[in-house]
Chain A
Amino acid sequence: METTLVQNLPEVTAAGVIIKAIIILAVIAAIAGFGTYIERKILAFMQRRYGPLHVGPFGLLQLAADGIKLFTKEDIVPQNANALIFKVAPSITAATAFIALSAVPVFPDFTIPEWVPLLGGVFVPAIAADLNIGILFVLGMMAAGLYGPLLAGMAQANKWGIIGAARTAIQFLSYEVVTGLSILAPIMLVGSLSFVDFNNAQAGGISHWLIWQQPVAFVLFLIAGFAETNRTPFDLLEHEAEVVSGYATEYSGMRWGMFFIGEYANMITVSIIAAVVFLGGYSEVGIGWLTIILKVGFFFFLMLWVRASWPHIRPDQLMWLCWKVLMPIAVINVVITGIVMMV
């Protein structure tokens, strides 16, 4: 296996990892906020509207206005709710979303210049925790993130919340098997669970991307990823037209905002996984950081595009789709991949 990465990277220190974690928290949280602006703009354009327009240039400061609103809203814990679980649930969603990002290559590595006091010369890695089971860890963390909606829906003593929680369980039971099985075939091809190995395996240019060898797995993973992030064809948990706001019905202010940040961080995570596993990641020499941003941006745009285009499906249809259609296809894909590898 050819590798283009420089092998003699500096040693990763605790300070570097902490700096990386702070960078991820700050930048991704900001991007998640920016994502709401992008989403509103793109959806508006696709419906021939303008979107946010008047607060700041091109409506950019709408973000600040929304932030002020979220932070200053009254934090209500409803009567009869289980207060402890009600308060903890949003942080589960937000925390697991960011924990998942710790094992994902987010930004290129760099070394802090020597003239910076205290931190000079510290090497900041591309991945905060370069686990050799990175993909398993990320998928597991994102799956654990669904405890947020589940507990929130059940703790708030609201019938719409209960329905949202039940739908969370249905969704969780449906897509998780497809996520694992669809990404199993690329894992077999690469022979590793580390994102860095995936990146290096596709280093030979566009023709080496795994999407050409595993198009079925790519489509399956995208479908499962949409379900994992509660995006529109599968946004059963909080579909406004049916269950008011589902698991988030009783939430207001920053607690609701944490659900939101978690959802957008998950969108970014799924986009990064899809880009690294199937579309060659950041392997292009020199402009890798730019291409990974373009790839992630494409997947993010795809999610908004799909939201503007497609209606969403019923919970039973999701279960039917995942268990009766996608799972057999994924299994067949894995078997065929295995046979091809053996022959």
Chain B
Amino acid sequence: MAVRVLGWLAVLALLAGLVAGFGYAPREAVQGNVQRIMYLHVPAVLTAYLAFGLVFVGSLGYLLTRRPGWDRLALAAAEPGVIFTGITIASGSIWGKPTWGTWWTWDARLTSTAVLFLVYVGYLLLRGMIDEPDRRARAAAVVGILGAANIPIVHFSVKWWRALHQPSTILGPEPSPIAAPIALALFVNWVAFTLLLFYLLAKRTEIARLEDMYAG
């Protein structure tokens, strides 16, 4: 029941976010309407980080307690995490085309996110290759923990590397200073995405629990 409510809340919030992003927020002066994709891009990356944080928590929880519920959390968080990361990359790329003329720039955030994407796709691939639940959970947990510990390291290394090869101009999608309506639209979308994440988490952990029950 609570999950249903959560689901509807998420839908409402997403609609509100759409309205806020395309209707309410003003047209950006420099980049035009394409800037609106930021309302997808930024919340997506924030939610992805949240998801991967939850993968870390689930991984740690499993290794410490051996309770399958933690492993299910890690799995349920990794899948949307990868999806949101994919959305981040795709939206960043789409935003980049009209703005910079290319589909891909080795922009610091885009590159970091891409590396993150690869790490967690690997995580899901690994899970797919192991049938035994305990071995799968343990192996995934180790990869999940290293992946999470690596996130700040990747972030800094890519940022510095980027700074070396191109003194960056205004590369972040946030125009500065951030005007109030833009911030509000961002916030609404971010809340919407987070609600969606939690809804997906609830559903996915339930499905995983049923799968385990059937297998046992």
Does B associate with A? no
Interface residues of A (CB under 8 A from B): none
